[in-house]
A and B are shown apart, each in its own frame.
Chain A
Amino acid sequence: MSPREIFALRDHLGAELKGRTISDAHEVVSLTDILSHTVLGGRLRELSGRAVLLKLSDQLRSGLAMIELDGIARRMLLCPPDLNPAHLEALIADAAIDAVVTDAPDRWADTGITLVVTAQLPLEATAPVKSERATEWLMLTSGTSGVPKIVGHTLEALTGAIVAEGPARGPAPVWATFYDIRRYGGLQIFLRAVLSGGSMVLSDPHEALGDHVARLKARGVSHISGTPSHWRKLLMSGSATQFTPRYVRLSGEIADQAVLDGLKAAFPNSSVGHAYASTEAGVGFAVNDGLEGFPADYLGNRNGVEMKVVDGSLRIRSTRTAHAYVGRSAAALTDGDGFVDSGDIVELRGDRYYFVGRRGGIINIGGLKVHPEEIEAVINRHTDVRMSRAKSRKSPITGGIVVADVILTESTDPARAKEIRDQILDLCRAQLASHKVPAVIRFVEALDVTPAGKLARTDAQ
């Protein structure tokens, strides 16, 4: 009996497909002959069986290091760019890290981690290696306060949805994402690019949106993903013209009808779909009918993904979920039946479920619970609105009231602001309970988006 075959990232990267690349704003690296090259200075052997912290300042070297390390390291912990350095020590202890791959080796001189490998470009030639083990992938949750949780995945779980969908029809895709690939949403796209035989165009946080889109066009990006906030920013920027991806994907936040319609109008020849996924629950499903929410018959067992709604919150069980939180005081990731509680609150209307908000994001309005997302979805339906944020404001009368910040579309005449405000309030009154109707609507030029691509719900201090 031979042991179960190990299938790592390198095993998806044969040299038979020509012209594959991974690129960022500065460099283009060929994926075609990547297996005979190293970003680790040829030191991969030293990392065999180790628990490796991947702490790099850019996505390109991170992605190349993931390709090398998968199947060799025992585990690798992906550090997103916005990781608070104060949390590193706790994370290193919880993940039992004993090696680091970095581009700033000096910083690790007196840290107790003795195996420090520098990731560097250009790549050096090396002999291809064979996969040895199923590496554990460790990712961090993107919560805003406290030490992030470490979520343990396998490559098999991470790629479950990609394998289930099968190969894309037509020419090999050129994937891009507004996400960072060290976050779950971005990693999904990186893995899609690797598994699909295609190429990958990375984002750069220091690049202006217009330059980014010009680069997406120049590199022939055909498939692209981002959060609804990423997409709203793109639509607002006016840079989307002449960009013609075949597939436009949203995930990571609620895709409301307004943003779906806005993307369909901006990309009339693209298919526009929204996917439901989280770091813990993995990829749940994709919705490609152009409508917000998802059909009620997605509940139950569908393609190996089981979903149910408990106390309004979506729970998911599948082979694509993470297998555990990692660390000394890690909580259980699933309930007793193996379901991950997503904390995403859904509501059944007719034959469809709609996302109404996060359980943890509820604001309290005079003792009543309100999901800001639900209010934003109504405001965003106004044709002159591009993006909005609802939040609570202290009131001496009721304790709290709802206020909303609204960004109007590029072409809106500012002189119409008062008329639009009245129309928005009419819309809200028609569709929301009175305590959810914003007391004050403020028109703003911009709304903050977190490094994870989500609308910032707390004001920067």
Chain B
Amino acid sequence: MSVRSKVIEAIQQIAREQHVTLPALSDDLSLHETGFDSLAFAILVARLEDETGVDPFTISEDAAFPATVGDFVRAYENVPA
């Protein structure tokens, strides 16, 4: 499974658990508009770390938290293996 589909699947899984109705997940959708609160993002980052072995937001001290879904996916795609 590609990194992108792992991320999207995890977002959809958490949305189901948290009873969040997601809009269409286009790359330029702002993360704010996903309806996720900070707890949902914390869960997402923790689960992706378990699945992919990386947490791009802890690795880099100065990395800004992404603004859009596309930025978020790229943060995982761009982590050196």
Contacts and interface: CB of A to CB of B under 8 A. Distances in A.
Contacts of B50: 440, 442
B78 interface: no
A393 interface: yes
B45 A397 contact: yes
Contacts of A396: 45, 55, 57-58, 65
Contacts of B39: 366, 398, 401, 434-435, 439
B58 A394 contact: yes
A401 B17 contact: no
B17 A425 contact: yes
A403 B43 CA distance: 9
A395 B18 CA distance: 18
A169 to B, nearest CB: 52
Interface string B37-81: 011011101110010000101100000010000000000000000
Contacts of A403: 46
A395 B17 contact: no
B66 to A, nearest CB: 12
Contact of A397 (B17, B47, B57): B57
A440 B38 CA distance: 15
B1 to A, nearest CB: 15
B42 A398 contact: yes
A396 B48 CA distance: 13
Nearest to B56: A396
A401 B58 contact: no
Contacts of B41: 397
Nearest to B50: A440
A74 interface: no
A215 interface: no
Interface residues of B, number: 15
A353 to B, nearest CB: 30
Given A396-B55, A396-B57, A401 B38 contact: no
B45 A395 contact: yes
Contacts of A425: 17
A429 interface: yes
B15 to A, nearest CB: 13
Contacts of B42: 366, 395, 397-398, 401, 439
Contact of B47 (A366, A398, A435, A440): A440
Given A397-B38, A397-B57, A425-B17, A440 B43 contact: yes
Contacts of B45: 395-397
Interface string B15-48: 0011000000000000000000011011101110
A366 B43 contact: no
A23 to B, nearest CB: 48
Nearest to A434: B39
A4 to B, nearest CB: 63
Interface string A166-194: 00000000000000000000000000000
Nearest to A394: B58
Interface string A16-43: 0000000000000000000000000000
Contacts of A395: 42, 45-46
A171 B47 CA distance: 56
A147 to B, nearest CB: 36
Contacts of B43: 401, 439-440
Nearest to B63: A396
A435 B38 CA distance: 10
A435 B41 CA distance: 12
Contacts of A397: 38, 41-42, 45, 57, 65
8 contacts: A395-B46, A396-B45, A397-B41, A397-B65, A398-B39, A401-B42, A401-B43, A439-B47
Q: When A and B form their complex, which 8 residue pairs have the shortest distance between CB atoms, in order from nearest?
A: A439-B43, A397-B42, A396-B57, A395-B42, A398-B42, A396-B58, A439-B46, A401-B42
Given A393-B46, A398-B42, A434-B18, 16 more contacts: A394-B58, A395-B45, A396-B55, A397-B41, A397-B42, A398-B38, A401-B42, A401-B46, A403-B46, A425-B17, A429-B17, A439-B43, A439-B46, A439-B47, A440-B46, A442-B50
